[in-house]
Amino acid sequence: MQKLTSQADWIARARTVLPAGGFGNFDPGIVIARGEGSRVWDEDGNEYVDYLIGSGPMLLGHGHPEIIGAVLEQLPKGMTFFANNAKGIELAEAIVEAVPCCEQVRFVASGGEADMYAIRLARAYTGRDKVLKFEGGYHGMSAEAQMSLAPEVRINFPQAIPDSAGIPQGVADQMLIAPFNDLTAVEALLDENKDVAAIIVEPLQRIIPALPGYLQGLRDLCDKYSVLLIFDEIVTGFRLAYGGAQERYGVTPDICTLGKIIGGGFPLAAIGANTEIMQHFDKSTVGANKWLMQLGTLSGNPIAAAAGLKTMDILRREGSYERLRAIGKKLQDMQSEELSKADIPHQICGDETLFDIFFTASVCRDYRTAKHDDPKRNEAYNATLRHHGIFKSAGKLYPSLAISEMDLELTKNAVQAAVRSIHA
């Protein structure tokens, strides 16, 4: 077989064997060959400053020597066992120590899997069926999560709209949809529906921040109506702070899900809660009728656990989060300054550790208001950034601790070019 060398060849080959030519995650028009530190290279050798960082997990950058060392130490001892292993137990201990709501955790292989089990766990514990989620909230690929994730048509709340084919109507009937950042709407739904098991929410919804007091308001409403509060911290866990959004905002949910960073770049996620709730994973304690069956071939994988443990060890070091926020603030400011100089309406939306730009003069507070006035402007802006060596998604920018002053200077030059491209 002839060796393929160009990116165009790889793209053509992918189109033959992959639906839509890709893995379903990112632009299939680019094929990444390797990553190192803050940079990635495509198959044509083009170099980029990486602000996608694998959609979040590579908070320390690619190929961090201490992570590689931890993985290489574990590799000859075994790659997977489908049994308890010391690294997985150590990782569980570290998570329980760090995350306020966690007294116990159960490992799975992906964030979407963790969210699915969190919803099922809430139903098992409460004996209720309905779940309230927020329009635009992302919680993986389960049938429940695919309700009103990105609806193209505005439908009256609380009707749930499936974003995927293949989901039975019965799933939609058990889901209530509310606008984010609206406590009045949530209370009205809880008052009308006495069979709600849980509210599931991203503490930072995609990149939309919770209004001051909103998360505490959800906590109070859940207590008032005996509903469980689930924080989806797949993205925010160990990013907003070492203890995640729970530490950052001072609000403790009943259940949380964690992923991305806790696997150090390998497939690993977890569900965490207090012992009383988590006992539903223990058949000998709760009995067959209340037992939540869960197993997975790679759950608690020792390679992923070793990488996650070392990542968490590095993040605990003094100044890690201060530096991450300082990098994020510089990235926010450089874009806002250039756009303001060009009189281009915009909003920086998110947290210093995760954010992006909406090209609008309106305040972005929920799914329906977090929109570009002209989506083509955003497309042109991001296309120009890519052309000038900046690798990011069209809707998020992930700072990492690998970003250097040189990276920031290169990014600033790319931003200036991108602003010129949409100001002309």
**In this predicted model, what pLDDT tens digit does every residue of 74-107 receive, in sequence order?**
999 999 999 999 999 999 999 999 999 999 999 9
pLDDT at 273: 98
End-to-end CA distance of the chain: 48
> Which candidate in 260, 321, 356, 407 is catalytic?
260
pLDDT at 152: 86
**For residue 158, cis peptide bond before it (omega within 30 degrees of 0):** yes
The answer to whether domain 31-63+318-423 has CATH 3.40.50.300 is no
Of 284-288, 382-386, 420-424, the least confident: 420-424
> What mean pLDDT do residues 29-41 have?
98
Q: Is 381 a catalytic residue?
A: no
Residues of the chain with CATH 3.90.1150.10: 31-63+318-423
> Which candidate in 125, 138, 249, 367 is catalytic?
138
> What mean pLDDT do residues 215-220 have?
98
For residues 258 and 272, is the Cβ–Cβ distance under 8 A?
A: yes
- The architecture in CATH of the region 65-315 reads 3-Layer(aba) Sandwich (3.40)
- Does position 3 have pLDDT exceeding 70, yes or no? no
Q: What is the mean pLDDT of the chain?
A: 97
Q: How many Cα atoms sit within 13 Å of 365 on the Cβ side?
A: 10
* pLDDT level of residue 222 (50, 70, 90 thresholds): very high
pLDDT at 29: 96
pLDDT at 226: 98
> What mean pLDDT do residues 46-61 have?
98
> What mean pLDDT do residues 116-136 have?
98
For residues 219 and 249, is the Cβ–Cβ distance under 8 A?
A: no
Q: Is 232 a catalytic residue?
A: yes
Cα 80 to its chain centre, rounded Å, is: 25
- Does position 4 have pLDDT exceeding 70, yes or no? no
Residues of the chain with CATH 3.40.640.10: 65-315
d(CA 413, CA 169): 50
* pLDDT level of residue 424 (50, 70, 90 thresholds): low
pLDDT in tens, 155-181: 899 999 999 999 999 999 999 999 999
> What mean pLDDT do residues 269-288 have?
98
- Does position 2 have pLDDT exceeding 70, yes or no? no
> What mean pLDDT do residues 262-284 have?
98
Q: State the residue for tokens 């998020």.
A: 396
Percent of the chain with pLDDT over 90: 97
Write a three-state SS string for the chain: CCCCCCHHHHHHHHHHHCHHHCCCCCCCCCCEEEEEECEEEECCCCEEEECCHHHCCCCCCECCHHHHHHHHHHHHHCCCCCCCCHHHHHHHHHHHHHCCCCCEEEEECCHHHHHHHHHHHHHHHHCCCEEEEECCCCCCCCCCCCECCCCCCCCCCCCCCECCCCCCHHHHHCEEEECCCCHHHHHHHHHHCCCEEEEEECCEECCEECCCCHHHHHHHHHHHHCCEEEEEECCCECCCECCHHHHHHCCCCCEEEECHHHHCCCCCEEEEECHHHHHHHCHHHHCHHHCCCCCCCCCCCHHHHHHHHHHHHHHCCCCHHHHHHHHHHHHHHHHHHHHHHCCCCCEEEEECCEEEEECCCCCCCCCCCCCCCCHHHHHHHHHHHHHCCEECCCCCECCCCCCCHHHHHHHHHHHHHHHHHHHC
* pLDDT level of residue 350 (50, 70, 90 thresholds): very high
> What mean pLDDT do residues 340-357 have?
97
> What mean pLDDT do residues 295-301 have?
95
pTM exceeds 0.95 for this model: yes
Cα 348 to its chain centre, rounded Å, is: 18
> What mean pLDDT do residues 396-411 have?
98
> Which candidate in 115, 130, 133, 232 is catalytic?
232
Q: Is 260 a catalytic residue?
A: yes
pLDDT at 148: 96
